[in-house]
């Protein structure tokens, strides 16, 4: 079954169950790689939300699916999330950095990481089983069938928890963040599976922080600011790069070059000083150099969560803060969620 995943649109708060005809069912929002998994006999395919298949990167999951669901007369098709957990007993959490390291071109590296940092799969929908295409059935029915199938699953394969209680969903939104989860998803109970459509509703964590502008990269077009690099001061007074701001309009990108010109660091000949940004396998072959800025400008940004000492995703520009002292922009201003054990979420 070649199926595009059903998508979600963002809403500001966890919606009331009667806000959608037929009611809503709530689930934790997992932070990993979306995957449509097809188990057909002994063949296992993990398709991503994009065009790149994930199968080769997670051989331990392929083996788990083959062992738990293989050998059937008809294919099983699951929708879910590939995640990776780390931390000791009582302090497990989702580990995006370790998960992202799993996408590697070398087979030897893939095999090594599959043993050292094995992934898990959390199923949250069932699209086909026992020769039946379930995509036209209501979600409540698909969920019942998924729970039946889930009796055959065990670590590293899980079925996500769910609730009809909006108050419990709001509690999950707050508490589960401490285990690295991304928010809450609300799904219409009576709707069929609608590939490519934003039928579900998602509520994610959004916060603001004051950060220091430390540099910018030129846009790929060669004109204007592509991304603005930002930093925070640590407890030792060192300014650390924590992420970037992008998604500027064409006009705004050009305007920013002029606005930032007074604080561009220059050499003895008056030429801008550049630095080389951090590289990863995602930036391989890409120019990561940036124009350095004097750390004098403060801006407020919106972010969802932290991953270690950096912003988890690209942040959004909110406003300039000329009233703020750059040295006051430290990690201590960040809203840190209370720790929560991921194992308690999975079980």
**Which residues are known catalytic residues?**
29
Describe the chain by its helix, strand, coil percentages, rounded to 5. Answer: 25, 35, 40
Q: How far apart are CA 12 and CA 201, in angstroms?
A: 10
How many CB atoms lie under 10 A from the CB of residue 194? 15
Q: How far apart are CA 85 and CA 106, in angstroms?
A: 23
Q: How far apart are CA 54 and CA 35, in angstroms?
A: 8
Q: How far apart are CA 173 and CA 187, in angstroms?
A: 15
Contact 215, 50 (CB under 8 A): no
What backbone phi and psi angles, to 5 degrees, belong to 139? -60, -40
Contacts 24+ apart (CB under 8 A), 223-227: 223/253, 223/254, 224/248, 224/250, 224/252, 224/253, 224/254, 224/256, 224/257, 225/253, 225/256, 225/257, 225/260, 226/253, 227/314
How many CB atoms lie under 10 A from the CB of residue 279? 11
How many CB atoms lie under 10 A from the CB of residue 219? 18
Given the DSSP bridges, would you call strands 85-86 and 43-48 parallel, antiparallel or unpaired? unpaired
What backbone phi and psi angles, to 5 degrees, belong to 258? -70, -40
Nearest CA-CA partner of 291 in 226, 217, 224: 217
The encoded tokens of residue 205 equal 């964590």
How far separated are the first and last CA of the chain, in Å rounded?
29
Beta bridge partners of residue 230, listed in sequence order: 213, 243
Contact 121, 80 (CB under 8 A): yes
């Amino acid at each position: 079954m070649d199926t595009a995943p059903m998508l979600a649109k963002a809403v500001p708060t966890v919606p009331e169950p009667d806000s959608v005809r037929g009611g809503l069912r709530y689930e934790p929002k997992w932070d990993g790689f979306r995957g449509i998994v097809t188990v057909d006999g002994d063949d296992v395919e993990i398709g991503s939300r994009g065009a790149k298949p994930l199968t080769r990167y997670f051989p331990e999951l392929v083996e788990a699916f083959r062992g738990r669901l293989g050998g059937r007369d008809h294919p099983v098709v699951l929708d879910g999330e590939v995640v990776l957990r780390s931390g000791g007993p009582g302090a497990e959490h989702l580990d995006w950095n370790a998960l992202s390291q799993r996408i590697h071109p070398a087979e030897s590296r893939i095999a090594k990481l599959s043993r050292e940092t094995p992934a898990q799969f959390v199923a949250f929908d069932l699209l086909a089983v026992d020769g039946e295409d379930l995509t036209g059935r209501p979600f409540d029915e698909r969920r019942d069938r998924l729970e039946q199938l889930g009796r055959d699953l065990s670590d590293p394969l899980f079925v996500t928890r769910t609730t009809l209680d909006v108050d419990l969903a709001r509690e999950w939104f707050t508490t589960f963040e401490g285990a690295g989860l991304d928010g809450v998803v609300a799904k219409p109970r009576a709707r069929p599976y609608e590939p490519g459509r934003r039928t579900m509703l998602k509520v994610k964590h959004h916060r603001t922080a004051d950060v220091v502008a430390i540099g910018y990269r030129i846009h790929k077009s060669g004109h204007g600011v592509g991304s603005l690099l930002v930093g925070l001061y640590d407890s030792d007074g060192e300014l650390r790069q924590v992420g970037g701001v992008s998604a500027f309009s064409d006009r705004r990108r050009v305007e920013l070059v002029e606005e930032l010109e007074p604080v561009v660091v220059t050499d003895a000949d008056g030429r801008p000083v550049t630095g080389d940004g951090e590289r990863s396998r995602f930036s391989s072959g890409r120019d990561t150099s940036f124009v350095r800025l004097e750390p004098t400008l403060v801006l407020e940004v919106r972010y969802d969560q932290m991953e270690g000492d950096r912003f988890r995703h690209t942040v959004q520009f909110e406003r300039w803060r000329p009233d703020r002292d750059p040295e006051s922009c430290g990690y201590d201003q960040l809203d840190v969620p209370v720790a929560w054990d991921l194992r308690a979420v999975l079980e």
